Structure 1
Amino acid sequence: MKEFGYQRALDVPGALALLDADADARFLGGGTNLVDLMKAGVERPSRLVDVRELPLDRIEPTADGGLRIGATVTNSDLAAHPGVRRRYPALAQAVLAGASGQLRNMATVGGNLLQRTRCGYFTDVTKACNKRVPGSGCPAVEGEHRNHAILGASSHCVAVHPSDMAVALAAFDAVVSYETAGGPGELPLTEFYLPVGGTPHLETALPQGALITGVTLPPAPVAALSRYRKVRERASYAFAIGSVAAALDVRDGVTREARLAFGAVASKPWRARAAERVLTGAPADAGTFAAAADAELAAAEPLPHNAYKVTLMRNLVVAVLTGLAEEAAR
């Protein structure tokens, strides 16, 4: 591991100033991803600016009935918060599915959003990787890609985003707040992650040197009936090979509103807009649910060894939506 400096920031302006003074510095939250990448030689910061002591560790209601989640809130505290569990249950479920208890106790909301892909070519510095070394190639396209993207990928990168939490946040129209030396800013989560295209090393739309300060969930009554379901290769702590965050408002057997997002199928949480359009105003039954899944997955471009994900996601969507519809009918 490269030798690095360490400083603890006590306020947001101080944190921004420390990063501005050192172009190779990085913000440190829980470190559950960044430190691992430093050990592997993927990340080589000159300095870590610890932001855990910043006053960004609260979950508070907003004036319009949503929730504001501070960037240094731990995943454990987020999943346990009564307002999250009651009003956005899929978010609590996603966080609990995302890691071991020890990791959830350390990991932060801001860090979770910024975690890097677990693609083996990315984490192995002896291999080529466009995300790590632009222009070096993407060996996953012809190599090991069983767990890689089927939506929104390109010939330059087929890696998937690893976050469970971000999938639920995408379904509920979350907005990411950040601070820069020039002032504050906001990005809808659906615009936070950049398309892969030919520049997979550019992962988010955050300005250079920006510090994530929080995430806002707008009021969403539909989210009260929501679920997150994750499929993985083993039942213990593991990254998803496919996941769904879904919410339904069903009245008299008809879907009045639907929210749907997919995980582990693209370089970012995949908001399933086409599926939502099929669901809205249609009977809440297995036929509609299958048609909605098919509408979204029509854009899939699987590789030879991950085509199974199309069938997996179709079945997963139908199962999750069926469960929600049955719960709504009780």
Structure 2
Amino acid sequence: MKAIALDTYGSPDDLRLVELPEPKVAPGEVLIRVKAAGVNPVDWKLGASMLDAIMETRFPLISGWDVAGVVERVGFDATEFAVGDEVYGYIRKDWAQNGAYAELVSAPVRALAKKPASLSWEEAAGVPLAGLTAYQSIERLGIGRGDVVLVHAAAGGVGSLGVQIAVARGARVIGTASERNHEFLRSLGAEPVTYGEGFVDRVRELAPEGVDAVLDFVGDGAVRQSLPLLRRPGRVASIADGEAALDAGGQYVWVRPSSADLTTLAQLADAGELRVHVEKALPLAAAAEAWRLSQSGRTRGKIVLTV
């Protein structure tokens, strides 16, 4: 099969298109014919050894934890799916090696769900990691109807999905973003504010009594700067500044695979309450370009590779 791989830790320039054997399909797994693979910052961070302290990596490394595709083979005791099923998932395993930047990938059924019928392959591949991160952060804080929620990096891959999930649960959402993304946030149901110096005062103008919860999807001091806005201490979650969130009595979120949560996200999408903005869809061979775009930190929505 064709795949994009790294022979050792490196940069986008070290990615190469190679022929590799088909992955083995363990009990409780299925083999997926990949239609699209989502690109996330964790992909290039893992490839650059930035996660070496917390995750075992083996080479050649095929990156990619987000997949959308068709079940091609069913492993022993994987009764949840059948050949021909359209699925999507966040396919993180116990170590990193055989990811979704390939024509074929094996995945445990616990990390998969039926693909949302209303989404294209590219859109579906943009959901799993970002959507689960947003959903699980919102679940941890118990965000629901009547809450006023501040979402940092609201126009990004995680933030744009988090805005919509919170809105679908009846929350009022204020989102930080650059001015060029303000209209985009309004289209998702959020009230935009420009990030940077003075954003606390700008949020106060919209919510004089403060906010009920803070979702930090950017880091860079956002948690500590937001604490004066919280009506009740501790209702803060971060994926980028765990120390600050924990010090504030909040949550440090590292996304987990979950078939049940993916099913919930699919239901939101098919109900018209969750849409995915694909900023760029590139062919598999252009993975290096996709990594560079992700590294720029200026992407609205998602970057996807098509296979």
Q: Is the pair's TM-score, using the shorter chain for normalization, greater than 0.5?
A: no
Which gives a bigger RCO, structure 1 or 2 (Cα 8 Å, sep 6+)? Answer: 2
Q: Normalised by the size of structure 1, how large is the TM-score?
A: 0.25
Structure holding more strand per residue? 2
